[in-house]
């Protein structure tokens, strides 16, 4: 029989991660579930300081927490309790299921990164306020990029993209994670990449010189909203909490019918990251940019690779 903690770890496998590296593992012992970082999956070029790895692990942690809350279980969370453990979840008593957690848990298998263009329909202020409230409940913050700031964000993404594509080490790392064998269950296959097109803010080219599987579409992100997820510091615990906030943002947006696409390249290179930080007026450290909107295309996205659970979850008897 699958235990609540095992189900939580299984659901966490759907969490988003940079280059779909899925850089985490779980150790389940009795009523305790421990989250560990898989340093072998850290991106040496894109993520030299490990910020994105911690954000990815934090997203997995939040997926597990939401799954427990939706199933009617309480749990205590220790972040960085010691050793190589990033977080420790200890199962508590049965409690009434959280209705909002149930909506978010139902969105976990549906949540996808949609790199196609979004349409003209705009997101309401009430929806953006709700998303901000959920992000702040996880210990991070959300800045809505104003219309007069879009150009600076676009320049940041373009500068970062040009710098990375001109770096042979980046091209080698990109090639490694976009040409993964099917059995690996990770990476960004060409069928999930999108063709280059005119966009308000450039989208990373995951198939430079190749054949991406997705068309951008006729829209140009006219109604898209761009938000910067940020925190007060870049300590490991802040970044882990930032990943939990990212998960809350993406799951709630999906549950409410929005499409989402994290944009990390503008944060990966130092100079463009400074430009993004300027959008925050000096009040925090940018963790990630997320594009939100309503999809203009009705075709379903291709399947996303996921690692074999047996390689990710260790059950200690």
End-to-end CA gap in the chain: 14
Q: What band does 213 get if pLDDT is binned at 50, 70 and 90?
A: very high
Per-residue pLDDT tens over the stretch 87-100: 999 999 999 999 99
Q: How high is the pLDDT of residue 218?
A: 86
Q: Which domains are delineated in the chain?
A: 4-110+304-316 (3.40.109.10), 125-293 (3.40.109.10)
The pLDDT of residue 297: 79
- Which token pair is 265? 């390249």
Residue 1 or residue 106, greater confidence: 106
Q: What is the mean pLDDT of the chain?
A: 96
Task: Work out the pLDDT band at 229, boundaries 50, 70, 90.
Answer: very high
**pLDDT score of 210:** 86
pTM of structure: 0.97
Torsion of CA 289, 292, 295, 301, to 10 degrees: 50
Q: What is the mean pLDDT of residues 214-220?
A: 89
Distance of CA 52 to the CA centre of its chain: 9
**Per-residue pLDDT tens digits for 132-167:** 999 999 999 999 999 999 999 999 999 999 999 999
pLDDT score, position 298:
79
At 78 the three-state DSSP class reads: strand
Across 266-285, average pLDDT: 95
pLDDT digits (tens, 9 = 90+) for 3-19: 999 999 999 999 999 99
Indicate whether 317 pLDDT > 90: no
Residue 156: C-alpha distances to residues 11, 162, 243, 289 (Å): 34, 10, 22, 11
pLDDT bucket at 262, cuts 50 / 70 / 90:
very high
- Cα separation, 151 vs 4, whole angstroms: 46
């Amino acid at each position: 029989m699958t235990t609540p903690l095992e189900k939580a770890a299984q659901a966490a496998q759907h969490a988003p991660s940079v280059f779909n590296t899925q850089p985490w593992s779980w150790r389940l012992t009795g009523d305790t579930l421990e989250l560990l970082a898989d340093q072998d999956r850290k991106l040496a070029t894109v993520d030299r300081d490990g910020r994105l790895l911690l954000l990815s692990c934090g997203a997995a942690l939040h997926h597990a927490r939401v799954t427990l809350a939706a199933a009617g279980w309480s749990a205590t969370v220790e972040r960085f309790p010691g050793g190589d453990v990033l977080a420790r979840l200890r199962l508590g008593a049965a409690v009434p299921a959280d209705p909002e957690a149930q909506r978010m848990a139902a969105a976990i298998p549906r949540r996808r990164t949609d790199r196609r263009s979004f349409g003209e329909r705009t997101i309401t202020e009430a929806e953006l306020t709700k998303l901000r409230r959920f992000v702040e409940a996880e210990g991070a913050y959300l800045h809505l990029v104003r219309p007069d700031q879009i150009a600076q964000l676009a320049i940041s993404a373009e500068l970062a993209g040009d710098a990375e594509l001109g770096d042979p080490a980046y091209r080698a790392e990109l090639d490694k994670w976009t040409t993964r064998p099917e059995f690996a269950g990770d990476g960004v296959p060409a069928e999930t990449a999108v063709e280059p097109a005119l966009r308000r803010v450039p989208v990373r080219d995951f198939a430079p010189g190749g054949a991406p599987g997705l068309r951008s579409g006729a829209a140009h992100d006219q109604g898209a909203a761009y938000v910067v997820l940020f925190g007060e510091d870049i300590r490991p615990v802040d970044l882990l909490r930032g990943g939990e906030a990212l998960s809350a943002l993406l799951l709630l947006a999906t549950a409410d019918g929005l499409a989402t696409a994290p944009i990390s390249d503008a944060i990966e290179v130092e100079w463009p990251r400074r430009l993004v930080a300027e959008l925050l007026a000096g009040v925090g450290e940018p963790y990630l940019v997320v594009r939100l909107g309503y999809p203009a295309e009705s075709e379903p996205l291709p399947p996303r690779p996921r690692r074999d659970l047996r390689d990710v979850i260790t059950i200690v008897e």
